[in-house]
Amino acid sequence: MLPAAATALDLVDAEVRELVRRRGLDPAVDPAPVRALAREVVADYAERAASSSLPPLADPEGVLRDVLDRVAGFGPLQRWLDDPEVEEIWVNEPGRVFVARRGRSELTTTVLGPGQLADLVERMLRTSGRRVDMSTPFVDAVLPDGSRLHVVIPDITRRHMAVNIRKFVLQAHSLDELVALGTLPAQVARFLEAAVAAGLNILVSGGTQAGKTTLLNCLCAAIPARERVITAEEVFELRVPLPDVVSMQTRQANLEGAGEVPLRRLVKEALRMRPSRLVVGEVRQEECLDLLIALNSGLPGMCTLHANSAREAVVKMCTLPLLAGENIGHAFVVPTVASSVDLVVHVGTDPSGHRRVREVVALPGRAEGAVIETADVFTTREGRLVRAGGYPPHPERFAAAGFDLPALLGERR
């Protein structure tokens, strides 16, 4: 029962929920009928309140929006999910909800009620097929709009659930659109388009929220349409605009602890699917070894990696495969990385929150001891990405694909 001091919002909310139950509607699957129903209930309530003792509706549109947020959305968090300027939302505790705009965080005035956060998390996970409980205290999932959800529960956290929602705000779908946004110069975009078409293996590196996935999506748009692309990710984030694409994501274990499908398994399975190109959303662990083996076998590929610079990304690529087992050593990994990775494109965020490509580094394929030789193709000087003195490997691939490499690099003949 509703309390005696129930507000108009509470009363309308209760009526909408009751009608949703009676009519068997599912707001997550088909929200349109729920929106129409809520609008009818608000209009009907406003008429009844005008001639009765019911609490009046001061703002019918506001009440309608709040009811839809409660019933068909994610409650108080929905306003931030709907805000196009908000890139990420995170909740440290019910009274501390943060958002990020243009790379900068701010504490909001949103306060969640007792038990409301757990209810919202359960609702968010309902369509993903994933769960979070004492046996699985972490979960990665995708919301219906493509946003990425990460949840950690007590007693891994001290007292409250920790919830992160990284919105899928794909501001660009091609390298040309990144040029328009000021992320990279047109010359660099033309070079990267040619590198993708020529089949070079490209690693996109950067920090959290630096724009790695967006850049990888834009690079995928440059893949020739005739190719068959297989993608492997922890959760679906890549959008490859090609006709022949198979996308795969990992799966967590079931209640009996079986059925887990890690990223390493996906990389192995992808090789059995006749790929022309392999794209891995992000390498974090031992799956890096399987990716290197695939790239070393002549299969073009791309992936992302967390790192503070292009050279640190190369070092990390030499370290992660060691997690695969004691029989894997630097003597195998270092020359494999040197011969398998062709370009590292590093992205970063400037103090104003703007994402930019910071450097493009080539790996000529040579290594001495545990050190891999690198060459700067483009580097940042005085805040601008400019041509450096290095050259990418495999110039014959550029020529075979019909590209004039010296012209792409802005060199006179």
Burial of 390 (0-12, 13-18, 19+ CB in 10 A): middle
Judged on CB neighbours under 10 Å (0-12, 13-18, 19+), 287 is buried
**What domains can you pick out in the chain, each with its CATH number?**
1-72 (no CATH), 74-169 (3.30.450.90), 175-409 (3.40.50.300)
Query: Measured between alpha carbons, how far is 127 from 377 in angstroms, rounded to an integer?
Result: 45
Q: Which residues pair with 295 in a beta bridge?
A: none
- Tens digit of pLDDT at every position of the chain (413 positions): 444 446 888 888 888 888 888 888 887 777 788 888 888 888 888 888 888 888 888 888 888 888 888 888 888 999 999 898 898 999 999 999 999 987 788 999 999 987 889 999 998 888 787 888 888 899 988 888 888 899 999 989 998 999 999 887 667 889 999 999 999 999 999 999 999 999 999 999 999 888 899 999 999 999 999 999 999 999 888 989 999 999 999 988 877 778 889 999 999 999 999 999 999 999 999 999 999 999 998 899 999 999 999 999 999 999 999 998 888 888 899 999 999 999 999 999 888 778 899 999 999 999 988 899 999 999 999 889 999 989 999 999 999 999 999 999 987 65
Tokens of 409: 């690099």
Helices (H), 83-206: 116-125, 175-181, 186-197
DSSP string, 233-274: ESS------SSSEEEEE-B---TTS---B-HHHHHHHHTTS-
pTM of the model: 0.81
The secondary element (H helix, E strand) that includes residue 349 is strand 343-349
Tokens standing for 86? 């908000």
